[in-house]
Amino acid sequence: MLKIPEYKGGPLVQGGAYLDDPLFWPMHLGSCLRGEDAQRAAFGADWDAAMELYRALSAEHA
């Protein structure tokens, strides 16, 4: 587990490898857009696949 002095928000993990995944940014920024049509228009990604990535990244065991 990555430790950052003075950070009390919870456990951190190295996730830099996910930055190259084309689904990372729609998943990360998608909550800023209202509705799947806007998300698809902005990112052109498969929103269902992006949500699968979100569930994998936010799982307790990950």
- 1 pLDDT band (50/70/90 cuts)? low
Q: Residue 42 pLDDT > 60, yes or no?
A: yes
Interval 2-10 mean pLDDT: 71
Which of 26, 21, 19 has the alpha carbon at shortest distance from 46?
Answer: 26
Please report the DSSP string for 1-42 in residue order: -B--TT--S--B---GGGGGSTTHHHHHHGGGSSSHHHHHHH
Return the pLDDT at 14.
Answer: 74
Does the pTM of the predicted model rise above 0.75? no
Question: Residue 12: beta bridge partners?
Answer: 2
Interval 22-36 mean pLDDT: 76
Query: What is the C-alpha separation between 17 and 29, in angstroms, rounded?
Result: 17
What rounded mean pLDDT belongs to the chain? Answer: 75
